C-alpha cells in the first residue's frame, strides 16, 4: 500500500447536534478537499438523538458517500457510541476520533496523519488551552490529578478523545472485551508508540453540552475503578488501622480494670462515637466493594455495549 492512498476514517459520536452538523459537514468536506492524498470517510454515530441529527446525517450521506451513518437504537452514551463507530470503520488504515461539536477542530487532523506517517501508532491531541470553566473545569482537574495518582497507566492530563489510532492500535482497542469503557484510559493501556500534537480547544460551535455532569462523573468513576485497586487497598489499610487501635484500647481498659483504677461503667459518649465511626467506615467499605461488584455484574451479564438500529453507507 502506498502512503499516498491511506484510508482514513473519522469517527464522530453525535447526540442532539442538529445545530452544529451543517458546519461540521462543511469543515470536513473542506478538509477532504484540501487533503487529496488520503481516501477519507466520516462515520457519524447517532446516539439516539431526539432532534433532527439522524435526518441531517442521512441527507448528507445521500449526497456524499464519504459520509456514513450508524444509528443506535437509543442513547447509550458517548463511550458506547464511540465504540460502535470504531467497530465500523471497514478497512481504514487509521481512524480519527473526535467530537461533533467542533471543540476539536478538524483542521488539526492533517497533523495527526503526518505524525502517524512518521511512525506513531497512536496520536493524541494535546490541549494547549481549554475552554471549560467553573464546575466542569474543576471536575476535570480533580479527576486528572486523582487519576494520575491512582493508576499505573496515567493519561496525559491535557488529552481527551481527540486523536488518531493506526490499524494495529484500532484492532487492539476493538478486541478489548469490557463493557465499561473509558477511552483515554484504554488507549493508554494498550500501549503502542504514541505521539502528541498540540492544539487549542475551541468553544462549542453551537448548541449546549450534551454530556450531563452526572454522566461525566460516571465516566470518571469508570476510569478510576477499572484502572485501580487502590480504593480496595485503602480499605484494607483502614481496617488494619482501626482493628489495631481497637485492640490497643481493649488492652488499655482491661489493664485499668485489673489494677482497679476504673471500675464503674462510664464512657457512653465514647461508645456512641465509636459505633458511629465504625459503622461509617463499614458502609464506605461496602460502597467501594459495591462499585467493583456492580461492574463485575455488568461484565458478567454480557449485554452488548450498544444496539445498532441501522447503518447507511458502505462499511
DSSP state of 202: P
Q: Does 77 bind ligand UDP (CB under 6 A)?
A: yes
Give the sheet arrangement for strand 67-72, strand by strand.
Answer: 194-200, 122-129, 159-166, 94-97, 7-14, 39-46, 67-72, 308-312
Question: Of the two residues 109 and 169, which places its CB atom closer to Mg ion in the complex?
Answer: 109
Report yes or no: 145 and 216 within 8 Å, Cβ to Cβ. Answer: no
The answer to the question of residue 173 lying near ligand UDP (CB under 6 A) is no
41 binds, among Mg ion, ligand UDP, none (CB under 5 to 8 A by kind): none
Q: Per DSSP, what are the bridge partners of residue 125?
A: 197
Dist CA 301 CA 307 (whole Å):
15
Of the two residues 20 and 120, which places its CB atom closer to Mg ion in the complex?
Answer: 20
User: How far apart are CB 14 and ligand UDP at their closest, in Å?
Assistant: 5
Residue 121 lies near ligand UDP (rule: CB under 6 A): no
The residues, ordered by sequence, that sit 6+ positions from 78 with a Cβ below 8 Å of its Cβ are 13, 15, 47, 211, 215, 219
Q: Is 16 in the site for Mg ion (CB under 5 A)?
A: no
- 72-104 burial, b if ≥16 CB within 10 A, otherwise e? beebbbbbbbbbbbbbbbeebbbbbbbbbbbbb
Q: Which is nearer to ligand UDP, 15 or 112 (CB)?
A: 15
CA distance 202 to 12: 17
Site track for Mg ion across 71-110, x = CB under 5 A: ------------------------------x-x-------
Cell numbers that stand for 12 in this block: 464522530
Here's the x/- map for ligand UDP, 86-105, by CB under 6 A: it reads as: -------------xxx-x--
Smallest gap from residue 204 Cβ to Mg ion (A): 5
Residue 103 beta carbon to Mg ion: minimum distance, rounded to whole angstroms: 4
Q: Find cell 461539536 and name the residue.
A: 101
Q: What are phi and psi of 95, to 5 degrees?
A: -125, 130
Give yes or no for residue 10 binding ligand UDP (CB under 6 A): no
Backbone dihedral region of 215: left (phi > 0), alpha (psi from -120 to 50 degrees) or beta? Answer: alpha
Q: Which is closer to ligand UDP, CB of 15 or CB of 115?
A: 15
What is the C-alpha to C-alpha distance for residues 8 and 29, in angstroms, rounded to an integer? 14
Task: Say whether residue 17 binds Mg ion (CB under 5 A).
Answer: no
Position 14 contacts ligand UDP (CB under 6 A): yes
Pairing verdict, β 159-166 and 308-312:
unpaired
* List 90, 209, 267, 280, residue binding ligand UDP (CB under 6 A): 209
For ligand UDP, the binding residue among 8, 31, 69, 81 (CB under 6 A) is 81
CB of residue 313 vs Mg ion: minimum separation in angstroms? Answer: 25
The distance of closest approach from Cβ of residue 248 to ligand UDP in the complex, given in angstroms and rounded to an integer, is: 49
Closest by Cα among 173, 152, 161 to 89: 173
Q: Does 47 bind ligand UDP (CB under 6 A)?
A: yes
Q: Count of residues binding Mg ion (CB under 5 A)?
A: 2
Task: By CB under 5 A, name the binding residues for Mg ion.
Answer: 101, 103
Task: By CB under 6 A, name the binding residues for ligand UDP.
Answer: 13-15, 17, 47, 75, 77-78, 81, 99-101, 103, 209-211
Amino acid at each position: 500500500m502506498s502512503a499516498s492512498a491511506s484510508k482514513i476514517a473519522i469517527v464522530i459520536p453525535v447526540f442532539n447536534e442538529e445545530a452544529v452538523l451543517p458546519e461540521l459537514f462543511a469543515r470536513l468536506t473542506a478538509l477532504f478537499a484540501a487533503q487529496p492524498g488520503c481516501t477519507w470517510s466520516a462515520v457519524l454515530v447517532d446516539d439516539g438523538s431526539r432532534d433532527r441529527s439522524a435526518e441531517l446525517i442521512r441527507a448528507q450521506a445521500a449526497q456524499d458517500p464519504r459520509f456514513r451513518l450508524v444509528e443506535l437504537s437509543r442513547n447509550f452514551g458517548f463511550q458506547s457510541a464511540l465504540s460502535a463507530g470504531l467497530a465500523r470503520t471497514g478497512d481504514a488504515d487509521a481512524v480519527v476520533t473526535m467530537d461533533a461539536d467542533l471543540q476539536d477542530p478538524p483542521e488539526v487532523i492533517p497533523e495527526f496523519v503526518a505524525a502517524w506517517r512518521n511512525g506513531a501508532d497512536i496520536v493524541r491531541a494535546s490541549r494547549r488551552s481549554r475552554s471549560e470553566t467553573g464546575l466542569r473545569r474543576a471536575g476535570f482537574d480533580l479527576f486528572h490529578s486523582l487519576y494520575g495518582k491512582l493508576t499505573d497507566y496515567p493519561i496525559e492530563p491535557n488529552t481527551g478523545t481527540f486523536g488518531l489510532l493506526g490499524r494495529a492500535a484500532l484492532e487492539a482497542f476493538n478486541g478489548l472485551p469490557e463493557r465499561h469503557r473509558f477511552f483515554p484510559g484504554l488507549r493508554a493501556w494498550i500501549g503502542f508508540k504514541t505521539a502528541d500534537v498540540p492544539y487549542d480547544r475551541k468553544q462549542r460551535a453551537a448548541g449546549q453540552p450534551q454530556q450531563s455532569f452526572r454522566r461525566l462523573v460516571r465516566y470518571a468513576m469508570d476510569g478510576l475503578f477499572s484502572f485501580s485497586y487502590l480504593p480496595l487497598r485503602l480499605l484494607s489499610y483502614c481496617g488494619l488501622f482501626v482493628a489495631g487501635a481497637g485492640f490497643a484500647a481493649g488492652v488499655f481498659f482491661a489493664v485499668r480494670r485489673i489494677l482497679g483504677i476504673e471500675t464503674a461503667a462510664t464512657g457512653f459518649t465514647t461508645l456512641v462515637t465509636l459505633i458511629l465511626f465504625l459503622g461509617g467506615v463499614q458502609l464506605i467499605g461496602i460502597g467501594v466493594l459495591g462499585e467493583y461488584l456492580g461492574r463485575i455484574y455488568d461484565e458478567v451479564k454480557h449485554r452488548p455495549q450498544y444496539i445498532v438500529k441501522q447503518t447507511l453507507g458502505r462499511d
